[in-house]
Amino acid sequence: MKNRNITGIVVAIIYCIVLFIFLTDSPSGEAPNNPRWIYLLLPLGAIAITSLFDYVIKFDFFRVKK
């Protein structure tokens, strides 16, 4: 397994948690009324964030090279 960028993984997890809170937010007693495709933003956004940090930014805040 290659060295994954831990910063990208942490940011992707935070993104998923925040987006899940926004997607499931609805008035009390009602079900959330979102189109089905909007839930694809969770995995697609997480993949985009981790690949962005792995291949473009390439700086890891948790593994600082000395």
Phi, psi at 35, each rounded to 5°: -65, 155
Q: What is the pLDDT of residues 45-65, one digit of tens each?
A: 999 999 999 999 888 888 877
Query: Is residue 34, in this structure, part of any structural domain at all?
Result: yes
Query: Is residue 11, in this structure, part of any structural domain at all?
Result: yes
Count structural domains, the chain.
1
Query: Is residue 44, in this structure, part of any structural domain at all?
Result: yes
What pLDDT band is residue 1 in, cutting at 50, 70 and 90? Answer: low
**19 or 28: which leads in pLDDT:** 19
Query: Is residue 1, in this structure, part of any structural domain at all?
Result: no
Question: CA-CA distance, 13 to 47, in Å (whole number)?
Answer: 11
Query: Is residue 23, in this structure, part of any structural domain at all?
Result: yes
Query: Is residue 62, in this structure, part of any structural domain at all?
Result: no
Q: What is the pLDDT of residues 21-52, one digit of tens each?
A: 998 888 888 888 888 899 899 999 999 999 99
Single-letter code of the amino acid located at 56: V
Query: Is residue 65, in this structure, part of any structural domain at all?
Result: no
Query: Is residue 29, in this structure, part of any structural domain at all?
Result: yes
User: Which residues constitute the domain of residue 44?
Assistant: 6-56
